[in-house]
């Protein structure tokens, strides 16, 4: 048998960070009941967190556009090898600055990474081996394919593929598919098409998608850019753009279902920039019920109004719709306040965290006002009218070009915000933001430690490094108190986040077949892996034990074919 687990030292360090914050620049706000708290991790990441992705090596890739000029991470040498001097030329030369960094969660430090082409407003998906496949961007980056495979020696860096995309992909979205390591890239500015990476047959090109023509608001910046993509458990692709949505059979290149328009005025996609999430899939219905949620966005005409200095109130409404079966209806409800430019992340219990953003305007440079400083917690299983909880406010505005990511230790990393084409820190309503924060949900606080499962160990059978679909596997953990009647096991696919999208985010609630707690307070659970790649595309997932609403720190698990 092969056992994989975090070291006791690492667990101790991470728990210390969660409970007490970092000694270097930390600022932990006191908890108020169940509202959570904030930590200031770094005063300067050097690079704006326009794009953020958590890797299975417990690092976070943070990167920005290369065309924004000098960042705040100055290099001694260009990546080409030549020295960066103190001359005025080199101080203004963007090649003497990093535009991507890797943040190490355990050391709270960043290191620079190389970017050869501009990934501004690009897309990303993780492959089965943990490699981040990154597609598109601006100008010389618009057809580019990049890869980042995380490592433990701190030597890994971006690699640019010699192959290119068939169409220009600026503000496009991507989704990992059930077929082994194949990604679909959809849309983009003036790109009403989709294509696959990698291509399977010689001469394979992009495919026209009339739906993107139909949903385009030409005078309002598109309002269908960065379409929301969700993989249904039948293998078909849900595509939401502007206010409309379809189910696309990619094998047949055919729209097989057109859903009702989401009620209300306004738009949901870039530059209106609402957000969307697929609610957790559950073993209790064999992962067959697939429900999507769309929240916030901008009012009709917000893009042209912002250009004239008028910032219209955003949308308060959220819609939920089951996309499987035959009855499709949007169930609507309202957030406490209007919101746009926000991120939606699935927490281990299955609640949705709505964080970052603004109340007025739309996406784009200097196009939004009234920062949304209070995160919301959305509990999908509560009764209508009691699902939203307002959490602890931050003092740092996270506007356009901000992102968030759930970490294995239970915190939520928050980075970025730059409503400008350059790094600007003075005399503007919302300066470029390089501080790195973490939001700590209330259940991660020390008062819950006696209920928290700890020291997770995942057992892989037969010397394998991946758990085969439908197979049993064992999880061992320590629990000081008797297990709650509400013991759940979640598997979470971490997303690539940018521009209010959490691409490929997915949570599964796994079946527990048996649970035994020994006299020494160690618990052994026998779990069942997801049934197929339709439900869970091959790759790394964060496995979390949730005991009565109190979650453990997560351990990485890999699901795949034999």
Structural domains of the chain ordered from first start = 447-560 (2.60.40.10)
pLDDT at position 462 is 65
pLDDT at position 136 is 98
Cα(235)–Cα(217) distance, integer angstroms: 29
Residue 10 has pLDDT above 50, yes or no: no
pLDDT at position 201 is 87
End-to-end CA distance of the chain: 17
Predicted confidence band of residue 465 (pLDDT cuts 50, 70, 90): confident
Cα(396)–Cα(441) distance, integer angstroms: 17
Token pair listed for 141: 């980056």
Predicted confidence band of residue 463 (pLDDT cuts 50, 70, 90): low
Contact 267, 314 (CB under 8 A): no
Residue 145 has pLDDT above 60, yes or no: yes
What is the residue whose two structure tokens read 């779990």?
527
pLDDT at position 7 is 36
- Give bridge partners of residue 559 from the DSSP assignment: 467, 539
State phi, psi for 12 to the nearest 5 degrees. -60, -45
Q: Who contacts 188 (Cβ-Cβ below 8 Å, separation ≥6)?
A: 136, 167, 168, 169, 170, 171, 172, 225
Contact 335, 242 (CB under 8 A): no
Cα(552)–Cα(443) distance, integer angstroms: 10
pLDDT at position 26 is 33
Predicted confidence band of residue 405 (pLDDT cuts 50, 70, 90): very high
Cα(437)–Cα(413) distance, integer angstroms: 6
User: Average pLDDT of the chain?
Assistant: 93
Predicted confidence band of residue 154 (pLDDT cuts 50, 70, 90): confident
> Judging by DSSP bridges, how do beta strands 123-126 and 132-135 pair with one another?
antiparallel
What does the pLDDT average to over 438-450?
A: 95
Q: Who contacts 122 (Cβ-Cβ below 8 Å, separation ≥6)?
A: 51, 134, 135, 136, 137, 141, 169, 170, 172, 498
Cα(504)–Cα(184) distance, integer angstroms: 11
- The more confident residue out of 29 and 442 is 442
DSSP helix/strand/coil, 90: helix
What does the pLDDT average to over 64-78?
A: 95
Q: How much of the chain, in percent, has pLDDT values that exceed 70?
A: 94
pLDDT at position 34 is 86
Token pair listed for 420: 């400008």
Q: pLDDT digits over 477-523, tens only?
A: 999 988 888 899 999 999 999 999 999 999 999 999 999 998 899 99
Token pair listed for 271: 């530059």
What does the pLDDT average to over 451-470?
A: 88
Q: pLDDT digits over 245-287, tens only?
A: 999 999 999 999 999 999 999 999 999 999 999 999 999 999 9
pLDDT at position 212 is 98
Q: Which of 355, 377, 343, 362 is nearest to 497 (CA)?
A: 343
Return the number of other C-beta atoms located less than 10 Å from residue 238's C-beta.
24
Q: How many residues does the chain have?
A: 562
Residue 38 has pLDDT above 90, yes or no: yes
pLDDT at position 15 is 45
Q: pLDDT digits over 406-436, tens only?
A: 999 999 999 999 999 999 999 999 999 999 9
Predicted confidence band of residue 460 (pLDDT cuts 50, 70, 90): confident
Residue 46 has pLDDT above 50, yes or no: yes
Residue 11 has pLDDT above 90, yes or no: no
């Amino acid at each position: 048998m092969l056992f994989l687990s975090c070291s006791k030292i690492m667990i101790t360090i991470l728990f210390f960070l969660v409970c007490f914050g970092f000694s270097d620049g930390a600022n932990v706000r006191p908890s108020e009941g169940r509202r959570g708290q904030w930590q200031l991790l770094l005063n300067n990441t050097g690079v704006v967190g326009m794009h953020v992705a958590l890797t299975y090596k417990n690092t976070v890739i943070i990167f920005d556009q290369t065309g924004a000029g000098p960042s705040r991470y100055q290099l001694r040498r260009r990546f080409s090898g030549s020295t960066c001097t103190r001359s005025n030329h080199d101080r203004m030369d963007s090649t003497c600055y990093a535009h991507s960094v890797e943040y190490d969660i355990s050391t709270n430090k960043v290191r620079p990474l190389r970017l050869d082409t501009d990934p501004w407003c690009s897309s990303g998906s993780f492959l089965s081996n943990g490699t981040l496949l990154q597609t598109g961007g601006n100008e010389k980056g618009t057809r580019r394919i990049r890869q980042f495979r995380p490592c433990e020696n701190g030597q890994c860096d971006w690699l640019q593929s010699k192959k290119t995309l068939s169409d220009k992909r600026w503000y496009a979205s991507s989704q990992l598919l059930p077929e082994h390591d194949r990604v679909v890239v959809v849309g983009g500015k003036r790109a009403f098409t989709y294509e696959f990476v990698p291509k399977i047959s010689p001469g394979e090109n992009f495919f026209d998608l009339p739906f993107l023509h139909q949903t385009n608001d030409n005078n309002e910046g598109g309002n269908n850019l960065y379409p929301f993509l969700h993989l249904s458990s039948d293998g078909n692709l849900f595509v939401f753009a502007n206010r409309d949505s379809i189910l696309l059979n990619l094998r047949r290149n055919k729209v097989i279902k057109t859903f009702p328009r989401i009620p209300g005025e306004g738009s949901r996609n870039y530059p209106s920039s609402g957000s969307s999430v697929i609610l957790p899939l559950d073993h209790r219905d064999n992962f067959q019920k697939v429900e999507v949620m769309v929240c916030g966005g901008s009012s009709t005409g917000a893009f042209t109004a912002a250009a004239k200095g008028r910032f219209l109130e955003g949308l308060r409404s959220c819609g939920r719709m089951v996309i499987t079966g035959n009855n499709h209806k949007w169930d609507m409800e309202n957030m406490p306040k209007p919101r746009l430019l926000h991120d939606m992340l699935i927490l281990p219990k299955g609640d949705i965290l709505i964080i970052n953003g603004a109340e007025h305007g739309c996406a784009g440079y200097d196009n939004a006002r009234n920062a949304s400083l209070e995160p919301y917690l959305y509990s999908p299983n509560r009764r209508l009218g009691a699902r939203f909880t307002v959490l602890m406010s931050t003092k740092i505005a996270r506007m356009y070009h901000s992102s968030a990511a759930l970490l294995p230790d239970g915190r939520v990393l928050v980075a970025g915000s730059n409503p400008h084409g350059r790094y600007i820190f003075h005399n503007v309503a919302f300066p470029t933001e390089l501080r790195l924060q973490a939001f700590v949900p209330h259940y991660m606080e020390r008062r819950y430690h006696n209920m928290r499962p700890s020291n997770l160990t995942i057992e892989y059978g037969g010397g394998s490094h991946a758990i085969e679909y439908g197979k049993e596997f064992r999880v061992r953990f320590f629990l000081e108190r008797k297990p709650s009647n509400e013991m759940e096991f979640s598997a979470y696919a971490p997303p690539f986040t940018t521009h209010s999208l959490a691409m490929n985010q997915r949570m599964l609630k796994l079946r527990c077949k048996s649970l035994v707690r020994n006299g020494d307070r160690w618990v052994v659970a026998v779990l069942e892996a997801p049934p197929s790649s339709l439900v869970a595309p091959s790759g790394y997932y964060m496995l979390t034990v949730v005991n009565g609403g109190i979650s453990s720190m997560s351990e990485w698990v890999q699901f795949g074919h034999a």
